[in-house]
Amino acid sequence: MKTTILLIRHGETAWNLDHRLQGHSDIALNETGRRQAEALARALSTAALDAVIASDLQRAQQTALAVAGRHKLPVFSDKRLRERCFGGFEGLLHGEIRQRYPDQYAAWKARDIDAVMPRGERVAESFRQFYARSVTAILHWAQQYSGQTIAVVAHGGVLECLYRAAAGMALDSPREFLIKNASINRFSFADGKLCLIQWGNVEHLTGPVGDELA
């Protein structure tokens, strides 16, 4: 049976605006992000959702609660859906990271998938570790709700991982696709095969209803 996965990135945060690396840092939505979450909830109000699952970080929870509220569904929290942990990089701007950790920054930008950032408040993880965590979590929920439709609210890195899994992209290949806040990305999962149906839908964030929030 085919499971439909609506994979959603959380709404905007102040750190998104500043291009400050968030990772596991628990940052709330800003005003624009809250409005994006409401526009997203309106857009999905007629969708036949069977479950809403989200990262336990509050920016994902706030976005998921807006969607779930329209359907009178609970939000299931799964910490495996968190953004990649960047260790000592978290909370810093890209320029600050480059200056403070030049070698580790260079490895990150070169897409060394086994490189690990310096430890900060938390222990960082490699992209390979993060990819395995993210994809395993989403496919777990797809199997739990086999033949149904689920909304999964997560983070930009998690969306990247599932895109790569569906497209069969090498983990160290350049990322040449956009990942937008509050975007709807549709996948199907059946017979062990993950397929990408639609990517980066933000129509709900533009025009009279969305008030140009994209």
Which residues are catalytic, by number?
A: 10, 83
Q: What is the spatial distance between Cα 38 and Cα 32, in angstroms, rounded to a whole number?
A: 10
Q: What is the spatial distance between Cα 84 and Cα 24, in angstroms, rounded to a whole number?
A: 7
In this structure, the number of other CB atoms found within 10 A of the CB of residue 152 comes to: 27
Amino acid at 146: S
Q: Are 26 and 57 in contact (CB under 8 A)?
A: yes
From the list 79, 179, 181, the residue with the least C-alpha distance to 122 is 79
Task: Name the CA dihedral angle for 150, 151, 154, 159, rounded to a multiple of 10 degrees.
Answer: 80
Q: What is the spatial distance between Cα 23 and Cα 27, in angstroms, rounded to a whole number?
A: 9
Phi first, then psi, for residue 76 (nearest 5°) are -85, 125
Distance linking the first and last C-alpha atoms of the chain: 34
Q: What is the spatial distance between Cα 30 and Cα 92, in angstroms, rounded to a whole number?
A: 18
